[in-house]
Amino acid sequence: VTSRWVALDVGETLIDETRIWSTWADVLGIPRLTLMAALGAEVVLDNGHTSSFGLAGAPDWRTHFEEVEEVYGGFKEEDLYPDALPAVQALCTAGYRVAILANQPARRTAELRALGFEPDVMAMSDEMGAHKPDPAFFARTLELLGSPDPGTVAYVGDRVDNDVLPSLAMGMHPVWIRRGPWGVIQTLPEDARSGTMVVASLTELVERIDELWG
Ligand SMILES: [Mg+2]
């Protein structure tokens, strides 16, 4: 019936990132609360999330990347928001074409497949050669979907800066999911309000998705 697409972000949209931030804190020897508070401060200041490591006292965080990855061990079932898999399955059942396209290392694609995600299209930024909020990421997204009219594509994410505004600028329908640090702290600019659907969960997204094209 429909050739409409729902493309989803990963971090704080499908995956609760509490465990990876906790892993970073533990490896860097920073109390978890301190690192997470620093992240919140950087979100308020519109700085990149990596500045929180410096703010919390670990400017050399980059040298710990592989150690963190080893301790973290990739996405696990416990990291999933409980509504993530059911929502993706419900969207597929409802006839939507579903994509998962996000700023993540390439290895996350296989990890998400292992957790049971079987979207029509899935790729991470490190495989796509472009990262949000670069418009090139959203142009590449459209290519991977087979170049549909952007107005037939919803992009679902937790960040106003990385997800909502650049997908809106590309002519897609942004859906802002208000969970995670960015989802609760950021605010939607006045001129983006009428074009953005705001939801509290992916369950609400499934219930209201038809409104986008009503
Ligand atoms: Mg995200």
Can you name the residues that pair with 175 across neighbouring β-strands?
Answer: 156, 197
Give the pLDDT confidence of 83-118 residue by residue, as tens digits. Answer: 999 999 999 999 999 999 999 999 999 999 999 999
Give me ligand 1 centre to Cα 2, in Å.
27
Query: Can you give the pLDDT at residue 2?
Result: 52
Four-point Cα dihedral 189, 191, 194, 197, nearest 10: -30
Give the pLDDT confidence of 22-78 residue by residue, as tens digits. Answer: 999 999 999 999 999 999 999 999 998 999 999 999 999 999 999 999 999 999 999
Q: How many CB atoms lie within 10 A of CB 200?
A: 11
Give me ligand 1 centre to Cα 29, in Å.
25
For the four alpha carbons of 123, 124, 125 and 127, in that order, the dihedral sign comes to negative
Token readout for 54 is 């410096």
Give the integer Cα–Cα distance in Å for 37 and 213: 39
Give me ligand 1 centre to Cα 3, in Å.
25
Q: Is the confidence at residue 192, as pLDDT, over 80?
A: yes
Give me ligand 1 centre to Cα 9, in Å.
5
Query: Can you give the pLDDT at residue 48?
Result: 87
Q: Is the confidence at residue 197, as pLDDT, over 80?
A: yes
Give the integer Cα–Cα distance in Å for 160 and 140: 20
Token readout for 81 is 């928001």
Give me ligand 1 centre to Cα 62, in Å.
21
Q: Is the confidence at residue 136, as pLDDT, over 50?
A: yes
Query: Can you give the pLDDT at residue 214?
Result: 79
Give me ligand 1 centre to Cα 148, in Å.
23
Give me ligand 1 centre to Cα 26, in Å.
22
Q: Is the confidence at residue 160, as pLDDT, over 50?
A: yes
Give me ligand 1 centre to Cα 181, in Å.
10
